[in-house]
Amino acid sequence: MAACPHRGWLLSLLPAVLLSLRSAPSAPELVTSQDAALLAGVPEDILCFSRSFEDLTCFWDEEEEAAASRTCHFYYWYSRDAPTACAVSTWHRGAGRTRHICVFPSQDVRLFTQLHLRVLDATTNQTKYWRELSVDAVGLIAPPVNITARWAGAVGQLCVSWQPPLADYLNFFLYEVRCCPASSPETPCSTALDPGGQHPSQPASSTHTSTAGAAAASPGVGQGLVKANTWVVLQDLRPGVRYHIQVRSKPDGTSMDGVWGPWSQAVAAETPRSSGDIRLCCSTPDLRHVRCEWSWDPAEPRGSHQLFYQAPPSGASTREDAWQRCEEVSVGAQGSHTCTFQPRAGSAISVLVNVTQPHALPTLSYFKEPFWLHQADAPQLVQAMVSQGRLSLQWLPPLEALAEQLDYQVRYAVENSHDWKVLQVPRAARREVLDLRPGARYHAQVRAQPSGPWYQGSWSAWSKPVVVDATADAGWIIPSVTVVPLLFTGVLLGLRCTFPSLYSNVKQKLWPPVPDLHRALGSFLHESSKHCQANAFYKQPPEEAVLPCLLEVLPGPQGEAGAPPPPPEHAAGRLPSTDIANQSYLLMSGWEPRGPPPAPT
């Protein structure tokens, strides 16, 4: 009777015993599938790896049928040492394969010493596999630990940092970083690296980096190598995409060598969004203060808006010290926000706007690329006049101190059209004339850019648009040149068909008949022809050719030496032949001789 309760107690313990046996933890796998996959590229029959250079594991795979038919022994020895047999454990893999594994005792692991391995067939005592290696050359290192990813303080950049996997070998590893868009797994993973320079950090007042604005990598496949450093800056990232980042390690091949280890667990991070998403615009009204304005959609949750600004660090300063918070944030109508601050002069300025949303939504960050204090406000349009199809614009410079060093651009477009025409205006100009299409309504704006020898900056925002109507009068000048004659011709044709007599009177007034020249000038033409015929019989005899007279002056017989001879005497009333032609010419010219020429003395 007493045995029955005891037997019942044993039966009640049986399920608990069976459950404990079933749930007993299995032995950890000495060589994982991931380890075998990482070593798949090693061209050896016996594969070996060390996780810390203080351990060593070797294994080989073969078909299960071949392993069952014969027994193998595994021996290893260092130079000048006797061979040592290793207790091999066998693991059954899928697809009818068996894996044989040897884990070396820690006292038998030596660095920088040649190690010999042999697998012997126990039946034939023949060598089946063999290999020679050094433990320091078969590293298979675990991934780094404490991986963090945060915004690097510049547009399109993320800073990734980690701790080395082995504290005793800090400067012996290469690291590989992989960055993949979290929202689109099909997008190729890529990265751009900058392993040098000062370690970047996030502004001290900013929120957790994994909730910053997003950035996505450019297309392209590849990983980036970082040697010795434990941080890297990923560059060329697009805004608006969340990232998953992984890191793995490998001995650098100088003192230690091996293969790439497994990837670490992914960490998520985002970079700030583009400042254009909130229309963030900064300018200076007096070359001392900076005023930043941005817009927030009223339909979105308002939340808390904070603006941070900083100048690039110099010397031993850090980015945490450089970032400062703008305290004078004011809210205007329709979700507009404004903040004015006075930065350090003589350096570029970066601006970050953090928007903390309610209901535990992630904080959104918007980053504006560095700009100089010389960036001007938008010019002020003071006059817009339209005359004869031309628009005359006149504006005032945003700051008189920059007036002579400002370039301007003017743009205009037809109302409800986004096809803007942009014109470059000469430096320091304050006026421009535009040709408009008649009968249309136009919007026009102007902006400025410091571009002189002392002040330089980026383009300001566009000024407030001015709306003008192009007059229609000037537009009808050119069409009227063609339309009016056509209308007049049509009226005349209508009069000719409808009222012939009226058409004749109008024609007489507009186009009087041309007189008949033959009838009006008939007698004159007849007399003129007779006169021409009579003169045709008279022909003036041709003049005789006047030959030149060559005279030679000879000295007289009784004259003084060198004195010219006296002219020859002529008969009374006669001229020499050479004078006849001259006399005839004088007579024809109206000259009459008054007497004989004087006699020579």
Which DSSP category does 228 fall into?
S
Burial of 97 (0-12, 13-18, 19+ CB in 10 A): middle
What CA–CA distance (Å, rounded) separates 181 from 542?
112
Question: Looking at residue 338, what is its pLDDT?
Answer: 93
Cβ proximity of 388 and 436 under 8 Å: no
Average pLDDT, the chain: 74
- For residue range 502-543, list pLDDT tens digits in order: 777 777 777 676 666 566 566 655 665 555 554 444 444 444
Question: Nearest-CA neighbor of 104 among 136, 56, 140?
Answer: 56
The domain 141-271 is classified under which CATH number: 3.40.50.2000, 2.60.40.10, 2.160.10.10, 3.40.50.720?
A: 2.60.40.10
Residue-wise pLDDT for 55-93, tens only, equals: 999 999 988 776 666 788 999 999 888 999 999 998 887
Backbone angles phi, psi at 486, to 5 degrees: -65, -40
Topology given in CATH for the domain delimited by 33-139: Immunoglobulin-like (2.60.40)
278-313+320-371: CATH, from 3.40.50.300, 3.40.350.10, 3.90.1150.10, 2.60.40.10: 2.60.40.10
* pLDDT tens digits for range 88-139: 998 887 777 899 999 999 999 999 999 999 999 888 889 999 999 999 999 9
**In the predicted model, is pLDDT for residue 549 greater than 70?**
no
- CA distances (Å), origin 478, targets 153, 482, 488, 593: 60, 8, 17, 75
Integer-rounded Cα Rg, in Å, for the chain is: 55
More confident call, 169 vs 70: 169
Q: What is the pTM of this model?
A: 0.58
Residue 483 neighbours by CB distance under 10 Å: 11
Fold that domain 380-472 belongs to in CATH = Immunoglobulin-like (2.60.40)
Q: pLDDT at residue 576 above 70?
A: no
In the numeric block, which tokens belong to residue 494?
């209508």
- Sorted by where each begins, the domain ranges of the chain are 33-139, 141-271, 278-313+320-371, 380-472, 484-510
> For position 449, what pLDDT does the model report?
87
* 183-192, 407-416, 542-551, range with the lowest pLDDT: 542-551
Q: Using CA atoms, how far apart are residues 493 and 507, in angstroms rounded to an integer?
A: 11
